[in-house]
Amino acid sequence: MLFKVEARQEPSRKMALAAPLIATGLTVVISSLFFLSLGLNPFVTLYTFFVQPLTTMNGISEWLLKASPLILIACGLAVAFRANVWNIGAEGQLIMGAIAAAGVGLFSPFQESIFLLPLMVVCGMLAGAAWAAIPAFLKARMNTNEILVTLMLTYVATLILSYLVHGPWRDPDGFNFPQTALLPYAGMFEVFDYSYRLNTSIFFTVVAVILAWLFMERSFLGYKMAVGGVAPAAARFAGFKSSSSIWVGLLVSGATAGLAGMTEVSGPLGQLSSQISPGYGFAAIIVAFIGRLNAFGIVLGGLLLSLLYLGGETVQLSLGLPSSIALIFQGMLLFFLLASNFLINFRIRAIAVRAH
Amino acid sequence: MELFISIFVATIVAATPLVFAALGELVVEKSGVLNLGIEGMMLVGAAFGVWAHFAGLSMPVALLTAVLSGAVVSLLFGVLALTFMTNQYAAGLALAIFGTGVSAFVGRGFGSTPVEAIQPLHFPVLSDIPVIGPMLFQFDPLVYFSFVMFALVTWFLYRTKAGLALRAIGESPDSAHAIGYPVIKIRYLAVMFGGAMAGLGGAYLSLVYTPLWVENMTAGRGWISLALVVFAAWRPLRVMIGAWLFGGMTILQLQGQAMGVSVPSEVLSALPYLATIVVLVLISQNRKAMALDFPVSLAQPFRPRG
């Protein structure tokens, strides 16, 4: 028996649906082997990782709470990635959004106004978009690689945050901890139930998913951007400008990342500290790919990645495993997913070898 | 003078991990492959180097472990990008994330335990010459090795038949394939070389420079190495010059912090990242120079026909 790889006439729809399942399955298998090698019972560990977090109401609330920013950011990133615009610095844009929102919440004169929260939303989105506008300008005007610029700006954003919470914005009554004072009540999202942290900011994510779907699948601009991503020469010929793809891709993804930062501050965090995101901006890249750059696929991808975060925390608490395992799983999942995407465009056929 | 000498020496040392990683990536990109996962491979090298060191292995063996771990983990990218022909951006990012996770897992428990660093060499007579001695003849062996690697990479790329083949593959894999060069095989070797060099660069950080294991200790050096290759417009000598510039930037900001310059330390820490952006912008202006040595097939998947 030999195997031969053949290009398919057209991409397989069946495989497009099966690929994420195959990837998830392979991740589970390999991680079981990994747990075995650590001397742990893989069934217990996998249960602790993937099932136990969802057995309580609090677990489900945390699951959705973590999935929400991932999905929100990934929707923006999908718009950019489809146009071949590589915004890798959503983490930095998230941080800038969080900083701007917290700044408005803490220092604006509208401390008790009902307009505080909307103002924070707007400022968070603007700050994220502004941070992404730097690479957009440099790419569109100066031909500078956006991957590297967005990443470098992420490091800069982390340093700005660190400066603020260690310096001018540090809570004077905070026992010298590197964090700001708590946001006023008017600057916080309502929780659905006081026992859990899930809050109304999740509606932004729902709206973002719908808007992203409409934009990418039903709008002419979204279509133009996608053509530019797949076939730049064809797009130029049709008169679609690549600079508008760059601007729209980066500003949209920057704004969603900034909004995600804002919802974290006005949601589960309630203040700024030196660590405000467990890498949501990077994980959202994986979410976007797992969702095959499709808005509804992204929802599933976000739920899956959020479960990985949650599972990572659970095994850390109950089995004493390091939380870095979640990162390993994220990388592994993306590896398998990319590999199984191969099956969409190619088929592997067994060919009989004749005996001589 | 004392200060100048110490800044000079510290600059060369700070540049060394960048030199290793960027020279490796240069070879990878020259073959037409873009591996964004340097940060992950460096971290893996750094963590496995420390792991081997604490497992009681000698320093050369620990370094070799780091080199091998970098090469092995780069294969994950290689299989995806070369065999499965996936999007190289995505595969590289997966490697960056995966490598960060693996390194944190391997390095756990070694945190803040200092490593007995590799010591600077002392050459008889030469090291004792005033000024020149401390500036040229008192480095650790790996610094000299980075110069050897620079010479080797330059010689390989421009003076050997294999190097010519590699560059031809980077320019036009289809033509190279038609002449009979094994495109995929050579690209695999290039990717593994890049992984090995990134692993060595990471181990330099954890075994010589810092020297201890800290999670995420590369702090963006992998990404800066990628920027260096662009900055160098794909030429080895400019990779070296770029690495020294960034090494110098790192040292100057550290000096500034030590001397208590009245700017927040975060502003100084941000300088290398901002400098990377400025340099990238400047270099991208000169489109002609950029195009000259640019491997045309960079990041495009290749599938041999027939």
Confirm whether B298 is domain-assigned. Answer: no
> Which sign does the torsion angle of CA B251, B253, B254, B259 carry?
positive
In a domain, B57, yes or no: yes
Please state, in angstroms and rounded to a whole number, the distance separating the CA atoms of residues A90 and B84. Answer: 27
**Tokens 């995101």 correspond to what residue?**
A277
Searching chain B, which residue's CA lies closest to the CA of residue A341?
B86
Tell me, yes or no, whether A113 lies in a domain.
Answer: yes
Find the Cα–Cα–Cα–Cα dihedral B79, A84, A237, B170, rounded to 10°. Answer: -40
- Could you tell me how far CA B167 lies from the centroid of its own chain? 20
Average pLDDT taken over every residue of chain A: 90
With contact defined as beta carbons under 8 Å apart, do A281 and A94 qualify?
A: yes
Which contacts of A135-140 are long-range, i.e. CB under 8 A and separated by 24 or more positions?
A: A135/A87, A135/A89, A135/A250, A136/A246, A136/A247, A136/A249, A136/A250, A136/A251, A138/B277, A138/B280, A138/B281, A139/A85, A139/A246, A139/A250, A140/A243, A140/A246, A140/A247
Domain of residue B56 covers: 2-292
In a domain, B302, yes or no: no
Contact B79 A339 (CB under 8 A): yes
B100 and A327 within 8 Å at the Cβ level: the answer is: yes
**Burial of B58: CB neighbours in 10 Å, binned 0-12, 13-18, 19+:** exposed
The Cα of B227 is separated from the nearest Cα of chain A by a number of Å equal to: 7
Spell out the residues 6+ positions from residue B1 whose beta carbon is closer than 8 angstroms to its own: B131
Report B:44-63 residues touching A (Cβ under 8 A): none
The interface residues of chain B toward chain A in range 80-109, judged by CB-CB distance below 8 A, are 80, 84-87, 89-91, 93-95, 97-102, 104-105, 108
Average pLDDT in chain B: 90
Task: Give residue A272's domain range.
Answer: 73-277
Residue B299 covered by a domain: no
| Residue A97 belongs to some domain of the structure | yes
Cβ atoms within 10 Å of B240's Cβ, excluding its own: 21
Q: Do B86 and A342 touch (CB under 8 A)?
A: yes
Q: Lowest mean pLDDT of A117-121, B13-17, B47-51, B290-294, name the range.
A: B290-294
CA distance A97 to A254: 9
Q: Which residues contact B90 (CB under 8 A, 6 or more apart)?
A: A289, A334, A338
For B125, other C-beta atoms within 10 Å of its C-beta total 8
pLDDT value at position B141? 92
Q: In this complex, do B270 and A338 lie within 8 Å of one another by their Cβ atoms?
A: no
pLDDT computed for residue A35 by the predictor: 84
DSSP letter at A179? B
Check pLDDT > 90 for residue B93.
no
Q: How far is CA A59 from the centre of its chain?
A: 20
Residue A330 included in any domain:
no
- Residue A352 has a pLDDT of 66
The tokens for B36 are 């964004």
B284 touches chain A (CB under 8 A): yes
In a domain, B258, yes or no: yes
Q: Which residues does residue A3 pair with via DSSP β-bridges, in sequence order? A: A350
Give the model confidence (pLDDT) of A294-314 as tens digits: 999 999 999 998 998 898 888
> What was the pLDDT predicted at A134?
97
pLDDT score recorded for residue A353: 63
Q: What is the pLDDT of residues A120-161, one digit of tens each?
A: 999 999 999 999 999 999 999 988 989 889 999 999 999 999
Tokens 């770029």 correspond to what residue? B242
Number of domains in chain B: 1
With respect to residue A40, please indicate whether it lies within any of the assigned structural domains: no
Q: Is residue B303 part of a domain?
A: no
Is the residue at A346 inside a domain? no
**Within a domain: A339:** no
Hey, what are A49's tokens? Answer: 């990782």
Q: Is residue A192 part of a domain?
A: yes
Q: Are A331 and B274 a contacting pair at CB < 8 A?
A: no
CA quadruple B48, B52, B54, B56: dihedral, nearest 10:
180
Q: Indicate the SS3 state at residue A199.
A: strand
CA dist., res. B74 & res. A200, Å (int): 43
Q: How far apart are CA B215 and CA B43, in angstroms?
A: 8
Q: Which of A91, A144, A162, A347 to mutate to test the interface with B (most CBs of B within 10 A)?
A: A144
- Which carries the bigger pLDDT value, residue B113 or residue A193? A193
**B37: confidence class by pLDDT, cuts 50, 70, 90:** very high
Q: Give a yes or no: residue A332 inside a domain.
A: no
The verdict on residue B180 lying in a domain is: yes
pLDDT recorded at residue B11:
94
Q: Which of A9-23, A88-102, B91-105, B266-280 has the lowest mean pLDDT?
A: A9-23
Question: If we measure between CA atoms, which residue out of B117, B122, B138 comes closest to residue B62?
Answer: B117
A interface with B, Cβ–Cβ < 8 A, is 7, 86, 88, 138, 142-145, 147-149, 151-153, 155-156, 159-160, 162-163, 166-167, 282, 285-286, 289, 322, 324-332, 334-335, 338-339, 341-342
Distance from CA of B92 to the nearest CA of A (A): 10
Question: What phi and psi, each to the nearest 5 degrees, are found at residue A314?
Answer: -65, -45
Q: Which of A142, A160, A342 sits opposite B266 (nearest CB)?
A: A160
Give the model's pLDDT for residue B74.
97
* Distance from the first to the final alpha carbon of chain A: 14
Number of domains in chain A: 1
Q: Return the residue in B108, B253, B277 with the most chain A beta carbons within 10 A, the one to mutate for interface testing.
A: B277
Listed as ranges, residues in chain A with pLDDT below 70 are: 1-2, 352-356
Which range is least confidently modeled, A34-43, A345-354, B32-41, B253-262? A345-354
Taking only residues 144 to 203 of chain B, the set having a beta carbon closer than 8 angstroms to any beta carbon of chain A reads: none
Question: Residue B36 and residue A339: Cβ atoms within 8 Å?
Answer: no
Query: Is A328 in Cβ contact with B102 (below 8 Å)?
Result: yes
**pLDDT (tens digit per residue) in B199-246:** 999 999 999 998 889 988 998 899 999 989 988 889 999 999 999 988
Neighbours of B283 (CB within 10 A): 21
pLDDT given at position A2: 67
Residue with tokens 């650790």: B140
User: Which secondary-structure segment (H or E) carries A6?
Assistant: strand A2-7
The structure tokens listed for A322 are 């390091």
Dist. CA A49–CA A35, nearest whole Å: 11
Can you tell me the distance from the alpha carbon of B83 to that of B72, in angstroms, rounded to the nearest whole number? Answer: 16
Residue A1 is predicted with a pLDDT of 57
CATH number of the domain that residue B129 is part of: 1.10.3470
Residue A56 CA to chain centroid, in angstroms? 25
Tell me the chain B residues in contact with residue A330 when contact means C-beta distances shorter than 8 Å. Answer: 97-98, 101
Q: For every residue of chain B, which 3-state class applies, written as one string?
A: CHHHHHHHHHHHHHHHHHHHHHHHHHHHHHCCCCCCCHHHHHHHHHHHHHHHHHCCCCHHHHHHHHHHHHHHHHHHHHHHHHHCCCCHHHHHHHHHHHHHHHHHHHHCCCECCCCCCCCCCCCCCHHHCCCHHHHHCCCCHHHHHHHHHHHHHHHHHHHCHHHHHHHHHHHCHHHHHHHCCCHHHHHHHHHHHHHHHHHHHHHHHHHHHCCCECCCCCCCHHHHHHHHHHHCCCCHHHHHHHHHHHHHHHHHHHHHHHCCCCCCHHHHHHHHHHHHHHHHHHHHHCHHHHHHCCCCCCCCCCCCCC
